A and B are shown apart, each in its own frame.
Chain A
Amino acid sequence: MTAAAVIAHPEGLAARRALRAARIRGVVFAALGLISFYFAASALETAALFSFWIDKQGGQSAQLQTSVGALWIVAGVASGVVGILQLVRGAAFPWRRWLFIVFPPYIAVTIAALLNGTAANLTGVISGSLVLAAPITLGALAGILSERSGMLNIALEGKMLAGACVASIVASVVLNTFNVSPSDPGYGTAALVGAMAGIAAAMLTGALMGLLLAWLGIRHKVDQIIAGTVINIGAVGITNFLFLRVLGRNTELNTPPTIEPLRLPLLADIPVLGPIFFSTKPYVYVAIIFVIILTYLLFRTRWGLRLRASGEKPAAAGTVGINVLAIRYRALLLAGLLAGLAGSYLSLSAAGSFQMGMSAGKGFIALAAMIFGAWHPIGALGAALVFGFADQAQSLLSILGVQVPPQLLNSVPYIVTIIVVAGVVGRVRGPASAGMPYEQG
């Protein structure tokens, strides 16, 4: 094939590249599987002890006992099977989904190998990952909505930060109007009303910022990355300003009710699983519900099809009569609601008050989760779990008694993000027209 032919058929070139990448991936998975068996041979005698709280944190615990070698075998089989499937089915193989099968055994075996025969309780680590994955998932969903409609959403970070600030202020003010102290019988209701008001205000803030982003990008054709940067820097400036000028002197404006874990009736009583999945913070339930709703809306409804068409080929969508710009405005409005909700988690649930710069890159991590999840809600949830787990590395390693400098641990989520967006584990194609202005006739 000559160079000219390659340029004339870029699709053919891309297909060959994809096939080569698929082969490399298959060989890597298969090799990983074989190496795992090698490790298994020397570790069959080492016990792997995991324990989990049965009903609640600090109560009775159940212990799972196997050997490190057995775990290596499980991991090796999983990786080997996926590698063979990948090699047989070529580029069309949806390997990303199969990572859900490959990752967990390797994580388990790594922990077990580090434990080296001693027992550790994992309920806290797993439920902690889940809780941290919630805001990242919500942010990633916001990113998916906007990018699928054709708008880049770098501004997630700023929306989350502003959402956190507004949520704390509004929730504090509403709680204060009830004039109850934590010991009063009516405090629970007042706290609930305050928290709900705070969340609503945060979502509204996010939505308004989303509309501003859309207006700058669509009406004024500002480069969407620059528009997003405007919002990010502006959010840092205004929230720091408010914190220093207003909240510092009036601390009663920054003492919101906190959102505590919610026990789901019946489900929370399931042994082992209950404490992990069903008595966790409400944000986890909300995030999972939104993942399901958005998956349905995006891929099973007319609205979703139109939204995706606007992001892939707006000209074609416009030709068949779809109002592309209206779809983009609405998508950014909805995305802003979700980003604001994610922001409210930071102040109302994670920290208990607003702090300067508390988003600390979570908006960008959410974008990375969106990319790693291939712009699909379920994929984003999976990716968010990886980030949640990376963030739990600190507490995990302290359980394991491994000495690692805290600066290195603090960097882990950021390093993982870079690895993910660099596509070291495989590149995906995003919506074709995301970031391009569209001229509607």
Chain B
Amino acid sequence: MNRLQSLARRSLLPILAVVTALLLGAVVIVITDFENLSKLGSDPIAALGGALAGVGRGYGAMLSGAFGDPGRIVTALQSGNEKDIATAIRPLTETLVASTPLIFTGLAVAISFRAGMFNIGGDGQLIVGALGATTTAIALQGVAPAAVILVAAIVVGTIFGGAWGFVPGFLKARTGAHEVITTIMLNYIAAQVVLFALRGDFLRQPGGGQPISKVMTTFVDVPGILPLPGIRLDFGFVVALVMAVVASFFLFRTTKGFELRSAGFNLTAARYAGMSAGGSIMLAMFLSGALAGMGGSFMVIGTVGQLSNDLSGGIGFNAIALALLAGLRPTGVVLAALLFGALTTGGKLMGIQSGIPFDLLFFIQALVIMFVAAPGLVRTIYRIKPPKPEAEVAA
């Protein structure tokens, strides 16, 4: 009972944070609905109703885009028609597809934050990892069997991402350069590096000036989980879940993980205890970048199939929000990534069906971070009593 209560207490704030952020997002949708609001003077009820209906349409589209239509799924499953099942469950599997890189980058953020490093370079690490994977795959095309290409591409991509993450870690440990500035700058540089790499004929798709790579699905692919047509969900998702378990074990059950968390908790104390704080920071940033790079590799080899400089689309920033929402716990990261995956997939359908731009989600995510980081705000809004401090309970 006690455990259940504490779990409920712990998840109450994150849930309220998300709900409040979505409500405020709705407010933004309403006040930018000029077509309806222009009628406010003549027919206020219809105007507000129209604007609110717009919100309903938008969030409704988000919901069905993320989870599909339950009734349709049931009938499709009963009919047993492969094609019907695939169409019906596609929104759900797309949500899982969108969550996969979010789990990787969310874990990346969690590990670096635990070491006290505010890594906002997830985007850069992801795309450099994807570049490594793409280059490897294309270089090995026709030389090695598909399975070898797959493993080599993922490994190289992971190392590339790790190296890109290691740079700010090294700079922080050796010179004290603030990681927020260096990681952001490395994001911009990564985009330019990828554009530069896509200039040459080696990577670029032939017959077009677009900076986009050759399609790789013809010779290498991550095996799918469901043998249904048009379902992109693949074993990258499983690897992401495995990585969450590994990260959890590493952080809470190993000496290195303890040192890493100590460096984040109190750098000076960790130093005085004889730990190499700089080493922990560099290790954390390497692992963080490696996870993001692995996520990028699975994305580019498995689900997307070709590299472009906007592959990431802000995943690195989503990762910050979801990692904080998850309280920097690997298991929580998985749950939060599923939620954000649903928001992403749903948000795309919202953009198509109701004309409410997908970018609203960035605003909603910022609000989520704010509410999670400032629990006092949520408590004030919903008049929740703050939990009693431990000292008082003991006394």
Interface residues, chain A, with chain B CB atoms under 8 Å away: 154, 157, 216, 219-220, 222-223, 225-227, 229-234, 236-238, 240-242, 244-246, 250, 360-361, 364, 367-368, 371, 405, 407-408, 410-411, 414-415, 417-418, 421-424, 427
Contacts and interface: CB of A to CB of B under 8 A. Distances in A.
A256 to B, nearest CB: 19
B359 A240 contact: yes
A368 B181 CA distance: 8
14 contacts: A216-B373, A216-B374, A220-B377, A236-B359, A240-B359, A241-B357, A245-B357, A361-B184, A367-B181, A407-B195, A411-B189, A414-B186, A418-B171, A423-B175
Contact of A237 (B184, B185, B186, B362): B362
Contacts of B320: 229, 233
> Does more than half of chain A's interface fall in helix, strand or loop, or is it mixed?
helix
A414 B168 CA distance: 13
A418 B32 CA distance: 39
Interface of B: 28, 32, 34, 118, 120, 171, 175-178, 180-182, 184-186, 188-189, 192-193, 195-196, 199, 314, 317, 320-321, 324, 355-357, 359-367, 369-370, 373-374, 376-377
Contacts of B176: 423, 427
B249 to A, nearest CB: 27
Nearest to A228: B180
A229 to B, nearest CB: 6
Contact of B185 (A219, A220, A240, A418): A418
Given A408-B196, A422-B171, A423-B175, A229 B32 contact: no
Nearest to A248: B357
A421 B182 contact: yes
B181 A421 contact: yes
Contact of B365 (A237, A407, A418): A237
Contacts of A423: 175-177
Contacts of A245: 32, 355-357
Contacts of A216: 370, 373-374
A231 B366 CA distance: 7
Contacts of A229: 118, 120, 180, 320, 369
Contacts, number: 136
A216 B193 CA distance: 36
A438 to B, nearest CB: 17
Given A233-B317, A421-B181, A422-B171, A241 B32 contact: yes
A241 B28 contact: yes
A230 B359 contact: no
Nearest to A217: B374
Contacts of B363: 233-234, 237-238, 241
Contact of A236 (B182, B192, B362, B373): B362
A311 B68 CA distance: 53
Given A245-B356, A418-B177, A226 B185 contact: no
Contact of A422 (B175, B321, B364): B175
B175 A424 contact: yes
B181 to A, nearest CB: 5
Nearest to A422: B177
A191 B374 CA distance: 42
A222 to B, nearest CB: 4
A407 B357 contact: no
A237 B369 contact: no
A356 to B, nearest CB: 8
A361 B374 contact: no
A222 B376 CA distance: 10
Nearest to A368: B181
A35 B262 CA distance: 47
Nearest to B371: A230
Contact of B188 (A236, A240, A244, A360): A360
A109 to B, nearest CB: 28
A405 B199 contact: yes
B357 A240 contact: yes
A32 to B, nearest CB: 21
Nearest to B185: A414
B140 to A, nearest CB: 25
Contacts of B175: 422-424, 427
Contacts of A241: 28, 32, 357, 359-360, 362-363
Nearest to A212: B370
B359 A244 contact: yes
Contacts of A422: 171, 175, 177, 182
A242 B185 CA distance: 26
A234 B366 contact: yes
Nearest to A216: B374
A144 to B, nearest CB: 15
A233 B365 contact: yes
Shortest 4 CB-CB contacts between residues of A and residues of B = A237-B362, A234-B366, A237-B363, A240-B359
Contacts of A367: 181
A226 B28 contact: no
Contact of A414 (B180, B189, B314): B189
B369 A414 contact: no
A222 B373 contact: yes
